[in-house]
Each structure stands twice: as structure tokens, then as C-alpha cells.
Amino acid sequence: MKRSTLRAWSGIHTWTSLICTVFMLMLCITGLPLIFHDEIDALLHSHDWQPAHPDGPLLSLDTMLDAALVNRPDHAPLFMSFDTDRPVVNVTSGPTPDAASRDMHFASFDRTSGNLVPGDEGFDVMHFILELHTDMFLGLPGMLFLGAMGVLLILAIISGVVLYAPFMRKLDFGTVRAQRSPRVKWLDYHNLLGIVTVAWLLVVGLTGVVNTLKTPIVDTWRTHALADLTAGYDDARVPTPQEMASLDAAVAQAEAAAPDMTLQFVAFPGGSWSTDYHYAIFLHGNTPLTSHIITPALVDARTGTFADMREMPWYNKALSLSGPLHFGDYGGLPLKILWAVLDVFTIVVLGTGVYLWGVRRKREKQGGGEV
């Protein structure tokens, strides 16, 4: 490689790394507990709650929706989801059907009685960490900014790989010159851990960038892929809960259309995951991979007429797969532990990169040469 080319790649690696390092450090530090989000939540929110009638029949979804609306009479229903290990229905509501996430209210209900399931009051540390990691409390602008930092990270990784080959020509793989100066020792650690984590970091970086595009992806799907389903509703308004057809009947139609799939959640009319006029009933597959790919059935919310069930476009599938892959949520606890170890390695790579840049700047000011 020519010296000028090497210098160009070095400049790309240095400046892309420096610009994104602070934010990547924040994402790695906040991402570490998020890898174990389920396990930490189980510890923080553990209680001895039992359903009112453990062996009793489950109440209908319409009854559960009514209970949620009684609990929040000034709200519109946005989402309904279901616990997998207990008879609990979760309802997210908001002051308007298109309410922002900060205005949403989440409540859980016992499906054997309709009563509220007691939640943990006070500060939710995991929710705080998740919001910081996702958008730095800035909403869509924060997500897109972190996506841009992710693109810089990918450029830093690619340029680092390009620089690694000529650097290691005279050294065996994994060499750490511990007897040399601290700068040389940490440079070797930086290069070793960087090349060890390169594939993982590319995967996490790419999936992270995809995750930051969630809002544009969902908006594109809603506006374009579902446009034909809203053609006849030009002058209609979002139906109120009192005007909506039976939710149980709508879900039954969706499940009949896909008997080999499992109900995951319901999006009500007016929200980002549905049209202004339909229930969007999302189902998922039953294998480790297809359980993360959701397929919506659309049912007219006023008449209860089944509209269509259609496969999500490729960009929605990429979004569905990116979230679990980003946090290592495919292979149980062993994979999460591996993700955590690689995350710690990445923190070391980022930290040593800043240290090496600082040492280099100091040497340049003093007029020293390279070691």
C-alpha cells in the first residue's frame, strides 16, 4: 500500500473514531445492562402477584379493553400485548390515538378478574437507560444522530481493518509488546481487541443503525404498503373506542387466517403501527428466528370486516430482526454473556483509542518521532 494511501486511511480511521467515540462509549456502557434487560427486570420487579382466579376462565379481550378504558377514561387505546408466562394483558393508552411515546401510559390487567396488576412505582432505572441508549431523550432527532454516529463507527471499523494488515506484517497475530513503552503496549491491546471484536462490532453497529431508523421505516410501511387499504376512507375519522367493532372477533379472524402463528400484539386505529381505520393484529412465527418476524392482519375497526393479511416488506423484516440481534437476544443467556464480554472489549478499544490519540498529539507538539 502506498504511503499516501495509508495516510489517507489513517486519517479516516482517526477522525471517524474521534467524532463517534464519546457516543459509542455511552452506547456500550448503557448497552451492557440492556443485554440482560429481562434478567434485571425480573430481579427489580419481582413480586408474589397471583391471578385472582388461577384456574378460572380468561376474560374476553373486549372486557379487558373496557377495564383499561375505565382505568384511563380520558385516553384512547394504542396497543394491547400479552404476557407469555401469566394471564396478563398489557394496554398502552394515550390522550390521542397518535400520542407521542412520552405521553403514553402503560398498565397491566389480570385477565382472570379484570383488576389492575400492581406495578413497581417510582423511578424505572432500566427504562431510563433504554431511552438514553435509544435516543438520548431527544426523540427522532436523537435516534437519527446516533444512527449517524453508527455510520462513522462502521467507517472507523473498515479503516481499522485496512490499517491492521500492514501494521501486523512484522508481528505475529496476538502479539502484545508488554515490555515496551505504555504507548506501544496499549497500541497492541487496541489492535488485538479491535480485530477480535471486528465482526461482532460490525453486526452491532449495522443493527444499531437500522434500529435508529425505526420511525421512518414504520412510517414508510404505513404510508406506502398499506395505502391501498385506506383508499376508501378519505373523509373518515379515527373511530372512538365506542365505535369500534369487537376486538375478540377481529383477533379470531386474524388467528384463523394464520393458524400456525401466535398472537403478539394489537395496534389500534390511529397509531403508527396501524392505519387510521383498522385494527392491526400482529402475529409471529414459532421458531427462534420467525418469532421475531411479525405479520399483520388488518381488520376494519368499525365494521369488523377482515381486510387483508400481508407479509411485511423487507425493510420491516430487517427492523424486526435487528433489535434482538443488536442485544444478543437469540441464543439465551450464553449468547448474552458473549455479547457482554465483547461489549467490554469494545469499551477497552474505544478507551485505548482516545489514549493513543492523546499521546500522539502530545508527541507531535513536542516534536518527537513515532515509536
Give me the domains of the chain, ranges plus CATH numbers: 3-40+130-211+331-366 (no CATH), 48-119 (3.10.450), 213-326 (no CATH)
| Cβ neighbours, 10 Å, residue 230 | 17
Nearest to residue 98, comparing CAs of 74, 79, 78, 69? Answer: 78
CA angle 102, 324, 225 (to 5 degrees): 70
Residue 172: CA count within 13 A, CB half-sphere: 3
283 burial via Cβ count (<10 Å: 0-12, 13-18, 19+): buried
State phi, psi for 174 to the nearest 5 degrees: 85, 5
pLDDT tens-digit readout, 15-66: 999 999 999 999 999 999 999 998 888 787 666 788 999 988 999 999 999 9
pLDDT confidence of residue 189: 80
Distance CA 142, CA 315 (A): 21
Residue 48: what are its φ and ψ, rounded to 5°? -100, 35
| H-only helix segments in the chain | 3-35, 37-44, 61-71, 125-135, 140-167, 182-196, 198-212, 214-220, 247-257, 314-326, 332-366
Per-residue pLDDT of the chain (371 residues; tens, 9 = 90+): 678 888 898 899 889 999 999 999 999 999 999 999 988 887 876 667 889 999 889 999 999 999 999 999 999 999 999 998 889 999 999 999 999 888 899 999 999 999 999 875 556 788 899 999 999 999 899 999 999 999 999 999 999 888 877 766 666 666 777 777 878 788 888 888 888 899 999 999 999 999 999 999 999 998 888 888 888 787 789 999 999 999 999 999 999 999 999 999 999 999 989 999 999 999 999 887 788 889 999 999 999 999 999 889 999 999 998 988 899 887 788 999 999 999 999 999 999 888 888 887 887 777 654 44
Nearby residues of 214 by Cβ (< 8 Å), 6 or more positions away: 143, 319
CA pseudo-torsion sign 338, 342, 343, 348: positive
Interatomic CA distance for residues 11 and 335, integer angstroms: 35
